[in-house]
Amino acid sequence: MSDFEKLKNMDIEELHKKTYIAPRVLEALRNEDFKRLGSRARALGFVKIIERELGMQLDELRQKIEQYYGDALDYNSAFVVQESKSGGSKIFLKLFLALLLLVAAGYIYLDKIAPRFTPPPAVTAEPNTTDNTTEQSREPNLTQESLAAAQETNTTQENNDSEQTLSESNASQTTASTEANETNTSLEDEANTSSEENTTTIDSELVRPSIAIVPKKRLWLGIIYLDDYKRKVYNTAKPIELNTSRDQLIVAGHTRFRIVEDGQEQNISGKRYFIYRAGELEPIDKKRFKLYNKGRLW
């Protein structure tokens, strides 16, 4: 039986006491639910602690982790693909609007500008009638006057029709532009909403960091939670696991101790101050500690 199979059969609480790794993290490792571990480095760090504390060789588990994170989809690349799709929709909309304007211009030209006025046929005088000579001499003048009046009427009508058509075209363009702006705004809102939902889903799947303080001998440790400023005091030689779901200030006595954080360890000596917030543990000086603690050292 491999060491990985032995790990699966061990009690979670017993593993927690020996490795100081949170039970939910141990359960995720045993069930190969690597997406809950956040990153490849964190997962391999947990495996290293288990191997060191229990004397196991978990090469099989390490290979599974390497394979999972090697085949996992990169979220940043997926997000870029989504942005390119949104840009393609905008280009399609612009092409559609340009085609619509070309069709409108062609209709205006064929229906309003291309037709021309055709003058009526001229009246021909009868050559054999002597008495109608005067009337014949007047008819050409009357015909010319009627033609001029008809041309002026046609010109006025064409101008009115052109103005009306241009007004309709401008109104159509304004409506199309408004619809385009509304469509773009809707697409951007949907993209932002999708981005926020994806970010919320990914953040909710990540496991909070597992942080334990392991004293070399009896250690005095004080904790101040920043959400209600309530205090908690330890005076013990046993390991202390921090509640990483709450932001907090931490002050430790002069005893030497170790900080075990997601597979990474560091040795500390002397009186030290820390702040834990947004999933990160950061060392601070006495002045900053006093500032965060409303002007008090403890």
| pLDDT computed for residue 111 by the predictor | 74
Band (pLDDT 50/70/90 cuts) for residue 277 is very high
* Strand (E) or helix (H) holding 144: helix 133-205
- Asked whether the beta carbons of 44 and 233 are under 8 A apart, the reply is no
| pLDDT computed for residue 143 by the predictor | 46
| pLDDT computed for residue 148 by the predictor | 54
Q: Which residue has the higher pLDDT, 237 or 164?
A: 237
Bridging pattern class, strands 264-268 and 272-277:
unpaired
What's the pTM?
0.40
| pLDDT computed for residue 8 by the predictor | 86
| pLDDT computed for residue 106 by the predictor | 81
Cα(30)–Cα(37) distance, integer angstroms: 12
Band (pLDDT 50/70/90 cuts) for residue 115 is low
Q: What is the mean pLDDT of residues 54-62?
A: 91
Determine phi and psi for 39, rounding to 5 degrees.
-145, 165
pLDDT tens, position by position, 82-102 = 444 445 567 888 888 888 888
Per-residue pLDDT for 146 more than 60? Answer: no
Question: Which range (45-54, 127-136, 174-183) has the least confidence?
Answer: 127-136
State whether residue 11 is helix, strand or coil: coil
* Mean of all residue pLDDT scores within the chain: 75
Band (pLDDT 50/70/90 cuts) for residue 208 is confident
